[in-house]
Amino acid sequence: MPLDFIIAPLPSALKAALQKKIDQKTKPLGALGQLEALALQIGLCQNSLTPTLSKPCILIFAGDHGIVEAGVSAYPQTVTAQMVANFLSGGAAISVFARQHSIDLLIVDAGVNADLEIQPKLIPAKIAKATRNFLNQAAMNPEQCNQAIQAGANLVLQQYQAGCNCIGFGEMGIGNTSSAALLMQCLTGLPLTECVGRGTGLNDSQLHNKLTVLQQALIRHDGLTKPLDVLATFGGFEIAMMVGAYLKAAELGILILVDGFIAGAALLVAYKLYAQVLEYCVFSHVSNEHGHQALLTLLKAKPLLKLDLRLGEGSGIALAYPLLQSAVLFLNEMATFAEAGVDC
């Protein structure tokens, strides 16, 4: 089934007025640096001179990967379900940071290889119990890929209807840096060695095995170029859901906070499908995972933070969110030169 998202460019009618409002604040021109660009982007995204942040939300998409059978991760597949339980009990890093900044946190079972107990903050959306091992066959079939994309889109629509206008997407899935690396390689043409990193903390021997396995997978599925074919062959259910979530959020005009390497790889797929999705994206940080900086460069992204994170979960989103609050607050509350009686 073809995708039918409609993503409009950011409206330009207010750009001059927003820039004038920013420039009239009691500061030298450009003195608030990236916060000024952020305020402008948020204002354009909401088509408002007085933008607000309403009901911020992070969706964590969780799914397992068949490629883990090939020893590409330092952790067993069972950790995915265990970490989902940790998110739900409030003990994970993202749980702590989301509470700190009053961000609603929801966990989506996109394809965890376990039967998860129903809980208020857990959204059941399982496509299957893990993708297939892409060393042998495509990770998912086209129908599963489309189902995951549409599921991610529907979840964003639900948040929008509940009043959310600022959203971010995290992920959990042992083995998903392997998927992300292959998505990046296939859609950018960069050498595989520039896309593959240590993930959950591989040692040198384990990293060599990961590179070997992923090279074999590329040979097995040689010639893929179309974004949806690449996604279905090498992606994960959680990554495919993020693709749909990005596209729907942009279609609805929701401001999107982008996390690290895996979230960035999902965005790369979305961008290859609908380039204007990037106009709605704020890049929270550059991670310590090998390949993320190159990916950000390709997307012409300017991340807000550099903290050497490599956790995933949406952790960078929660840490960067206060900067969005500051951008909105200075735009709406900071005095102008005229109001403050300051000569300019």
Q: Alpha-carbon distance 23 to 29, whole Å?
A: 6
Q: What is the mean pLDDT of residues 302-330?
A: 97
Own/partner long-range contacts of 117-126 (Cβ < 8 Å, ≥24 apart): 119/88, 121/87, 121/88, 122/84, 122/88, 123/59, 123/155, 125/151, 125/155, 125/241, 126/237
pLDDT tens per residue, range 48-103: 999 999 999 999 999 999 999 999 999 999 999 999 999 999 999 999 999 999 99
Over 90: is that where the pLDDT of 316 sits? yes
Q: Alpha-carbon distance 12 to 45, whole Å?
A: 10
Domain locations in the chain as residue ranges? 57-328
| DSSP class per residue in 86-105 | HHHHT-SHHHHHHHHTT-EE
Q: What is the mean pLDDT of residues 283-298?
A: 96
- The pTM for the full model equals 0.97
Q: What is the mean pLDDT of residues 297-301?
A: 97
pLDDT interval class at 1 (50, 70, 90): low
Q: What is the mean pLDDT of residues 174-183?
A: 98
Per cent of the chain over pLDDT 70 is 99
Residues in the chain: 344
Q: Which residues of 305-336 are buried (b: 16+ CB within 10 A; e: fewer)?
A: eeeebbbbbbbbbbbbbebbeebbebbeebee
**Per-chain mean pLDDT for the chain:** 97
Residue-level pLDDT at 344: 74
Residue-level pLDDT at 200: 86
Correct CATH for 57-328 of 3.40.50.720, 3.30.70.20, 3.40.718.10, 3.40.50.10210: 3.40.50.10210
Tokens standing for residue 79:
């950790």
CA nearest to 328, candidates 15, 21, 9? 21
Q: Alpha-carbon distance 127 to 92, whole Å?
A: 25
pLDDT interval class at 215 (50, 70, 90): very high
Residues identified as active-site: 313
